[in-house]
Amino acid sequence: MTTKPKFAMYWAASCGGCEIAVLNTHEKILDVDANFDVVFWPVAMDAKYKDVEAMEDGSILLTLFNGGIRNDENEHIAKLLRQKSKILVAFGSCACEGCIPRTGKSQSCR
């Protein structure tokens, strides 16, 4: 029996648009589940940091990291997921350009 590659996704300080974009793939999201073992995605599943900390370094094939680094927790998880992932992708403008969600009006970074 072959094991599926591991996938993770994390939402740091962001507008939330990336999570919605992924969920807007509708039934295609099932293809992710069919091809990957989703091991960490706090918005979509009950996942604990300690579970990721217990994984071997490099055991996650792909992590999509969206959101900017705003606090110590975001920084810790970014470094942890970098250590545990073979590929870490800065996903979305908040992660790529360091956007910070605005307070008050609801709007995306771009």
Tell me: pLDDT of 106 over 60. no
Q: For 63-85, what is the mean pLDDT?
A: 94
The phi, psi pair for 4, rounded to 5°, reads -80, 150
Q: For 55-83, what is the mean pLDDT?
A: 95
pLDDT at position 20 is 80
d(CA 59, CA 16) in angstroms, rounded, equals 26
d(CA 92, CA 110) in angstroms, rounded, equals 9
**Which structural domains are found in the chain, ordered by start?**
6-97 (3.40.50.700)
Indicate whether this model's pTM tops 0.85. no
* DSSP H helices in 11-101: 17-23, 29-35, 49-53, 72-84, 93-97
